[in-house]
Amino acid sequence: MKVCVIGLGYVGLPTALLAARNHEVVGVDVDESKVDALDRGEPPLEEPALVDLFHEVEGRFEARTDVVPADAFVIVTPTPLDADTEVADLAAVRAAAEAVEPVLTRDDLVVVESTVPPGTTERLVGRILERSGLERGAFSLAHCPERAIPGDTLNEMVGNARLLGAIDDRSAERAADLYSFVEGDLHRTTPRGAEFVKLMENTYRDVNIALANEFAKIAEELGVDVHRSVDLANEHPRVDVHRPGPGVGGHCITIDPQFLAQSSTHDRLISQARAINDSMAKHVLGLVQGAVGEVPDRDPRVTLLGVAYKGDVGDTRETPARPIARLARNVGFDVRAYDPHVESDADLPVELDSLETATAGSDCLVVVTDHSAFANLDSESLATRMRSPTVVDARAVVDRSRWEAAGFEVVVLGDGSN
């Protein structure tokens, strides 16, 4: 079938390329520079396996800025949180549905793949499509959310089980054909059911991380090491505590729980977990202030190691580095930053430098991101470059004994044992 994928971002582009293994695919994005890059054969993709896939499907994938008639449409546009109202901003999903409506014909399939609050597929997208004069059922409609983890997108898109939240049997059959690249099981449910399950999954992770972060703060008070404690607790066959850190980032886990909270009067734990995770930036700053103390002569200098929201990716959306940098600047720190996966980011309140420049004369390093490269940093040369060799490790990635031997004072978030 001919498939039109609308939104060529972290999820839409890999989805379009995978679908192009079995179908003719047109990828649509409002960002002309993205479409131009794809036309030039330069896909904006971080994972090497995805670049290979781009070349594999050449001839079956084309990028455009306008929606064209097709047999199936997949909406994968962003669903951020509206900053003023704290509810889902569905403008891009609405715009995509409005772009499909004029070209929609009988028997076409429309899939919402964006993560959305329960009810959105049928109430918002379905109603816009009905303006075409076609009744629901004359066209197929489904919500098939994505579960892939950034960093291993291709393997997860293919291997993970997938939800098919279809309005009827025909919609489910056609969606199964569209997603024939998926090797995991396809589970049939309703659109609202799929919307709810997707949000439950990310909420579970956010709440679990909040619990780990609360354990970390308690461990600091009690004088024990939370990281070793989590390892030991997870030896229990029915316990799976997540990892504490400087806060939860990314476009999904920071946002999706709020789509559930906004949909119910019963939210208690979900909002509390969000607040705990958001409080971690302040907690990290407290650790930095405790470690650095009073600095004579000039503003104390702090260097953020990592601005990406998590390890080994270059994505900075909702990164905890942002509040940490802002809070540090507010209390008078000169803030520098280095990230091996991020060259520049205009949305960050701090410029990115090379490791050498960012750490020169620094009073404190703060490990914000768990990039694998940080486990192998040369602590001895860092110690000689800094004014006072101190590190606050919010991810438990540095080797304490090696860094202490190099002359560092080492503070690990959640480790009260030292």
Ligand X SMILES: NC(=O)C1=CN([C@@H]2O[C@H](COP(=O)(O)OP(=O)(O)OC[C@H]3O[C@@H](n4cnc5c(N)ncnc54)[C@H](O)[C@@H]3O)[C@@H](O)[C@H]2O)C=CC1
Site residues (vs ligand SAJ, CB under 6 A): 115, 146-150, 201-202, 205, 209, 242-243, 245, 248-250, 252-253, 309-310
Distance CA 159, CA 176 (A): 15
In this structure, how many other beta carbons lie within 10 angstroms of the beta carbon of residue 107? Answer: 12
Give the residue with the Cβ less far from ligand SAJ, 146 or 345.
Answer: 146
Task: State which H helix or E strand residue 209 sits in.
Answer: helix 191-222
Q: Does 143 bind ligand X (CB under 6 A)?
A: no
Please answer whether residues 314 and 342 qualify as being in contact, where contact means their C-beta atoms are separated by less than 8 angstroms.
yes
Between the alpha carbon of residue 227 and those of residues 74, 208, 230, 243, 396, the distances in Å are: 42, 15, 5, 8, 8
Task: Report residue 320 CA to chain centroid gap.
Answer: 12
Nearest to ligand X by Cβ — which residue?
A: 9
Among ligand SAJ, ligand X, none, what does residue 178 contact (CB within 5–8 Å per kind)? none
- Respond yes or no: is residue 282 known to be catalytic: no
Among ligand SAJ, ligand X, none, what does residue 77 contact (CB within 5–8 Å per kind)? ligand X
Minimum CB separation from ligand SAJ for residue 295, in Å?
29
Among ligand SAJ, ligand X, none, what does residue 78 contact (CB within 5–8 Å per kind)? ligand X
Give the residue with the Cβ less far from ligand X, 44 or 286.
Answer: 44
Distance CA 35, CA 114 (A): 20
Instruction: List the beta strands (DSSP E) in 95-159.
Output: 109-112, 140-143
* Contact map string, positions 13 to 52, toward ligand X, x by CB under 6 A: ---------------xxxx--x------------------
Contacts with ligand X: how many residues (CB under 6 A)?
Answer: 26
- Residues 218-238 as b/e (b if ≥16 CB within 10 A, e otherwise) read ebbeeebbbbebbeeeeeeee
Instruction: List the beta strands (DSSP E) in 281-352.
Output: 301-305, 334-338
User: CB under 6 A: which stretch of 75-83, 102-110, 204-212, 349-357 binds ligand X?
Assistant: 75-83
- Selected from 7, 27, 43, 323, the binder of ligand X by CB under 6 A is 7
Give the residue with the Cβ less far from ligand X, 96 or 382.
Answer: 96
* Contact map string, positions 339 to 378, toward ligand X, x by CB under 6 A: ----------------------------------------
* Contact map string, positions 84 to 103, toward ligand X, x by CB under 6 A: --------x--xx-------
- Respond yes or no: is residue 198 known to be catalytic: yes
- Residues 55-91 as b/e (b if ≥16 CB within 10 A, e otherwise) read eebeeebbbeeebeebbbbbbbbbbebeeeeeebbbe
Structure tokens at 344: 């520049």
Q: Does 4 bind ligand X (CB under 6 A)?
A: no
Please answer whether residues 350 and 357 qualify as being in contact, where contact means their C-beta atoms are separated by less than 8 angstroms.
no
Q: Taking the alpha carbons of 378, 379, 380, 384 in that order, is the dihedral positive or negative?
A: positive
Structure tokens at 366: 């703060």
Among ligand X, ligand SAJ, none, what does residue 2 contact (CB within 5–8 Å per kind)? none
Residue of 376, 329, 366 whose CA lies nearest to 349: 329
Distance CA 370, CA 383 (A): 20
Among ligand X, ligand SAJ, none, what does residue 309 contact (CB within 5–8 Å per kind)? ligand SAJ
User: CB under 6 A: which stretch of 77-85, 120-128, 174-182, 398-406 binds ligand X?
Assistant: 77-85
Question: DSSP state, 255?
Answer: T
Nearest to ligand SAJ by Cβ — which residue?
A: 252
320 CB-near residues (< 8 Å, 6+ apart): 245, 246, 247, 248, 249, 280, 281, 284, 309, 368, 394
Q: Does 121 bind ligand X (CB under 6 A)?
A: no
Structure tokens at 106: 């009988």
Distance CA 223, CA 128 (A): 58
> Catalytic one among 217, 252, 310, 364?
252
Minimum CB separation from ligand SAJ for residue 313, in Å?
7
User: CB under 6 A: which stretch of 70-78, 186-194, 212-220, 325-333 binds ligand X?
Assistant: 70-78
> Catalytic one among 198, 217, 310, 364?
198
* Contact map string, positions 237 to 266, toward ligand X, x by CB under 6 A: --------------xx--------------
Minimum CB separation from ligand X for residue 8, in Å?
5
Active site residues: 198, 252
Residues near ligand X (CB under 6 A) are: 6-12, 28-31, 34, 76-79, 92, 95-96, 114-115, 146, 148, 150, 251-252
